[in-house]
Amino acid sequence: MTFPERAAVIDAAAISHNVRTIGDFVRPAKVMAAVKADGYGHGLITAAEAALAGGAGWLGTAHISESLQLREAGIEAPLLAWLHTPESEFAAAIEAHIDLGSSGWELPLIAQAAGELHQPARVHLKLDTGLGRNGCTLADWPTVVGNAAEYQDQGLISIEGIFTHLAVADEPDRKETDEQLAAFRQALETAEAAGVVPDLRHAANTPAALSRPDAHFDMVRVGVGIYGQSPFADRTAESLGLQPAMELRSRVANVKKVPAGQGISYGLTHRVDAPTTLGLIPLGYADGVPRIAVGGPVLIRGQRYHSVGRVAMDQFVVDLGAETEVEVGDEVTLFGGDSGIEAAEWGTAAQTINYEIITRIGARVPREVINPPAAQQEQGDQ
């Protein structure tokens, strides 16, 4: 492949591999692949098709609009969308056979849409067991379950699942995960007492899928892991058997020698302390490289270098040292591929996490997809 001046190379086979790896670990639980946020920056349809090729039984999105895009692309797999407002397209979701997460307040709107369509809505009730975001409170849970059961008796909804989301599963030693799972199990008992016993109970995100078998229940919802990123601060993707699916690449746009004391980029927050050579990389915060990143690593000609000075809108600078063979046009890898650099290293440089690094890569950076499912099938047939 000939790489343009900037590209996010998406290895669909890596996504399939990661889904398969996680699926083997959590079996018999099903795998829901979270493809929200444009497939964590990898491309919504690319991620969805690759995840299904890897054995995912479900796809998850935050918004109904994302699930509708999947249906428009011809994807018929089970879908769940869980983040709504009163303006959400509940009727369109019901018509497209998209399951709907509900914290309780949506139930009248979902039921109304279902009644007008004469088609029951498929609903997963969401409980807030401690994360403090979406989901009904523990105090409101009996009421929500009761209301949902009434709508189900009326033929307006079908309760397909009950789920929650974990707050600190990426820190396995914290007791809050035990507390959340205990609350979830109690809520399931409350639902069962009300006659609500759905087929799908799900709580585990990627870290819980990989570290808490007791959180697997009937299905796990995995996001960052299927893109080959570790959810743990002290474990690499490689140690988990995961393959990074995104390689962020560019080309050197300028090389020049500068004297000692040369300031770098806006604010002159960095000055070189000896004569050196600077390389210019044509990626900036408009492309998703965090402005705050200090010392972000890159690989050029097999050698690591680090960013210096502030990242600008379209570019950043790396210090190549006094003597270098780097030339204008040389390939640069920020993370992924065979570089040995994980997105988490840019996360550390920017005081954030790898989730944000891969998801924020902007639309100005072309996605170059390699090893799509069709190619994987052809290789498997050989």
Backbone angles phi, psi at 280, to 5 degrees: -105, 130
Q: Which of 36, 151, 227, 285 is catalytic?
A: 36
Per-residue tokens: 28: 């018999």
Residues 81 and 34: their CA atoms lie apart, in Å, by 10
The DSSP code for 103 is -
Which residues does 76 contact at the CB level (< 8 Å), separation at least 6? none
Helices in the chain by DSSP H: which ranges? Answer: 12-26, 36-40, 44-53, 64-72, 90-95, 107-117, 141-153, 176-193, 206-211, 343-349, 354-359, 373-381
Q: Which of 126, 175, 257, 266 is catalytic?
A: 266
HSE value, Cβ hemisphere, 13 Å, CA-based, for 67: 31
Residues 299 and 302: their CA atoms lie apart, in Å, by 6
The verdict on whether 36 is a catalytic residue reads yes
Beta strands 303-308 and 297-300 are antiparallel
Q: So which residues are the catalytic ones? A: 36, 266
